[in-house]
Amino acid sequence: MIKKPEKNDSRRVVITGLGVISSLGIGWQDFWKNLLAGKSGISKIESFDTSGYDRHYGGEVKNFDPSKFISKRKLPYMGRASQMAIAASKLALKDAALDLKSLSEEKIGICLGTTMGESQILEELNKDFIFNRMNKIDPSQITIYPANIISSNIAKEIGAGADNYVFSTACASGNYSIGYACDLIRFDANKRILCGGVDALSGIAFTGFCRLLSMAPEKCQPFDKNRKGMMLGEGAGILVLESLRNAKKRKANIYAEILGYGLSNDVESMTSPSPYGISKATERALRESKVDKLQVNYINMHGTGTLENDRAECLGLKKVFGNNLKKIPVSSIKSMLSHTLGASSALETIATSLMIKNGKVLPTINFEIKDPEIDIDCVPNRYREHKINIALNNSLAFGGNTACLVLKKY
């Protein structure tokens, strides 16, 4: 990891804009309102046929109209992930009160995380191959499949000409992109970065998680004794990051400050998280942020609702916080939102910054029976008033990729 310079207003990184496309709302306002109400964004999947599966529910975005954000002429030349990412980016820029026409395009960068990229394009090409329709394939479809095309489409649409990166570290991709965006700003305080994550609902991913027997039938119950697995979803979460100096200069609304991040790769298992990897990422994040573990008073856990993930995450955090862990409010918004893969940790960072700003801890819904192996305060079923000064946002991923962000009230 790059060594950070000493912190001052030009090196401190703050969140000044939020953009959300999710099954719980378009725009952060509806997203936040529905999270506070403990609503579920889970519904029957309609975008593809699930009759051949034993699972039929997910966090599908039902009311997204891309033509409200992108010219209809351009829509055939980009996949759903690009459409959602562009929409969330425009919402974030509007929320940050940034007019790109008045800014130098070289100072607007993009860091994006995704797990599946434009997998829906690949699925359609696969169907054409299976059903001998190869002669009907539009060759241009091949060019809009690679994952890097998503950030490229954002840049073209908003006129960004600076840094442009895509991270694909599975379900930790969003946090990776946010962490790297912080590094870019700390070494060039004039930059503003659009960062976060996106994934569209994917038949490939749906099939994979069903085959892994990790999908719940109808609801996600993180930390509950009788939890039955995760729910797959889709969405985009984009944040505007900039130096505190720039934010203060233009009197921007500041949601929270990002103090630092920690990464680890435990390489123990392709699919099961390791408590060791979780503890290492958390310890590194706290050390880089110069935060004592006793200062942490909220944790947004990865909390997928699978037996192994929730158990391993709790064990990993106990290695760091010991018995004090049970005194720290934690929650998993995947109980409401579903698991949005590369978008998940970005949407959770947005939710965490709103919790910090508003002094409220979001609930873990569908919680019924306490698991004696998971001795935590998961804020069951209803939100709680709670002043948050220092928060962690954890993300775990296949391949042992783990990332932890440290956020602070400004």
Task: Look up residue 376 and give its two tokens.
Answer: 């935590």
220, 314, 339, 404: which one is catalytic?
Answer: 339
Q: Within its chain, how far is the Cα of 291 from the centroid?
A: 23
User: Cβ(400)–Cβ(267) under 8 Å?
Assistant: yes
Angstrom CA distances, 326 to 283, 316, 329, stand at 18, 13, 8
Cα 231 to its chain centre, rounded Å, is: 15
Q: Which residues contact 52 (CB under 8 A, 6 or more apart)?
A: none
- Which position among 182, 195, 220, 302 bears the catalytic label? 302
Gyration radius of the chain over CA positions: 20
Quickly tell me which residue has 């999270």 as its tokens.
Answer: 35
17 neighbors 239 (Cβ within 8 angstroms): yes
CB 205 within 8 A of CB 81: no
Distance CA(339)–CA(202), nearest Å, equals 12
| DSSP of 372-400 | TT---B--BSS-EE---SEEEEEEE-GGG
Residue at token pair 């929320």: 95
Cβ neighbours of residue 326 closer than 8 Å, sequence gap 6 or more: 375, 376, 377
Is 302 among the catalytic positions? yes
Residue 33 token pair: 């309102």
Phi and psi torsions of 29, nearest 5°: -65, -50
Q: Would you state the structure tokens that stand for residue 206, as one six-digit string?
A: 């749906």
Q: How far is CA 354 from CA 14, 16, 44, 119, 410, in A?
A: 13, 11, 29, 31, 12
**What does DSSP assign to residue 222?**
T
Tokens 């200062």 -> residue: 295
Question: Which of 111, 171, 195, 404 is labelled catalytic?
Answer: 171
Q: Which of 408, 307, 405, 404 is nearest to 357 (CA)?
A: 408
Annotation says 386 is catalytic: no
Q: Among all residues, which ones are annotated catalytic?
A: 171, 302, 339
